[in-house]
Amino acid sequence: KQEVTQIPAALSVPEGENLVLNCSFTDSAIYNLQWFRQDPGKGLTSLLLIQSSQREQTSGRLNASLDKSSGRSTLYIAASQPGDSATYLCAVSANYGGSQGNLIFGKGTKLSVKP
Amino acid sequence: NAGVTQTPKFRVLKTGQSMTLLCAQDMNHEYMYWYRQDPGMGLRLIHYSVGEGTTAKGEVPDGYNVSRLKKQNFLLGLESAAPSQTSVYFCASSYSIFNSVNTEAFFGQGTRLTVV
């Protein structure tokens, strides 16, 4: 069974700090891994997608890495800003739940960046 | 840029009532999905569709039905609502199915449903 775990569940940091969010998954047979951002009462916004053959992806101040063999991904946020405050979700694409290609989500890390 | 639009955004139902949630996407995506998000459970796949006229069960399909009569629309129905169906429902779409390595998912804003 594919399970996705995100640690920590919540994180509070002062503005300007660099931070790392962690995601782990139990089965390395994934197609890709995606990081999403969710603002309160809003939908999910895709931040980065890492294909299973890739090691990392970068977008602006965000950098995501993938180590498929160890079942780990990290999302690095540089120079954090209050506007980065949101819940960050990690999801892996895998054959699971009776469907060919399902997104299995972690429970998220709630980030708060204090001014 | 509408993307994925869900209707309604909020709804309160009494136990036993029925309702339909509408999802519309304007990106010409073949694949559409319904998820529910519950505290402490994360997002779970209810049903999905790989194209117009097709539907398939996901991880938690019981108590729900879906239809995909038009490519751009994916409807989620609750025939007899139960308190256990209180949740936030998200629709998503993608160009190809999630077992393609480069598939990005686009999500709607969600529907907050309360069943009393």
Instruction: Answer whether A46 sits within 8 Å of B59, measured CB to CB.
Output: no
User: Each residue of B73-106: pLDDT tens digit?
Assistant: 999 999 999 999 999 999 999 887 666 656 788 9
Instruction: Answer whether residue B108 shows pLDDT above 60.
Output: yes
Q: Name the residue of chain B whose CA is nearest to A3's CA.
A: B42
Which B residues in the span 50-109 are in contact with A, Cβ-Cβ below 8 Å?
Answer: 56-59, 90, 92, 97-109
Residue B16 vs residue A31, higher pLDDT: B16
Q: Could you write out the three-class secondary structure of chain A?
A: CCCEEEECCEEEEECCCCEEEEEEECCCCCCEEEEEEECCCCCEEEEEEEECCCCEEEECCEEEEEECCCCEEEEEECCCCHHHCEEEEEEEEEEECCEEEEEEECCCEEEEEEC
Q: Name the residue of chain B whose CA is nearest to A53's CA.
A: B101
Confidence of residue A1 (pLDDT cuts 50, 70, 90): confident
Q: Name the residue of chain B whose CA is nearest to A34's CA.
A: B104
Of B48, B100, B107, the CB nearest to A44: B107
Tokens of B36: 């529910």
Tell me, rounded to whole angstroms, the distance of Cα A108 from its chain centroid.
Answer: 8
B5 at the A interface (CB within 8 A)? Answer: no
User: Each residue of A55-112: pLDDT tens digit?
Assistant: 999 999 999 999 999 999 999 999 999 999 999 999 998 876 555 667 889 999 999 9
Of B41, B58, B107, the CB nearest to A99: B58
Please give the pLDDT value at position A14: 97
| Alpha carbon distance B24, B106 (integer Å) | 12
Of A51, A98, A108, the CB nearest to B101: A51
Q: Name the residue of chain A whose CA is nearest to B39's CA.
A: A107
Please give the pLDDT value at position B95: 84
Tokens of B47: 């049903």
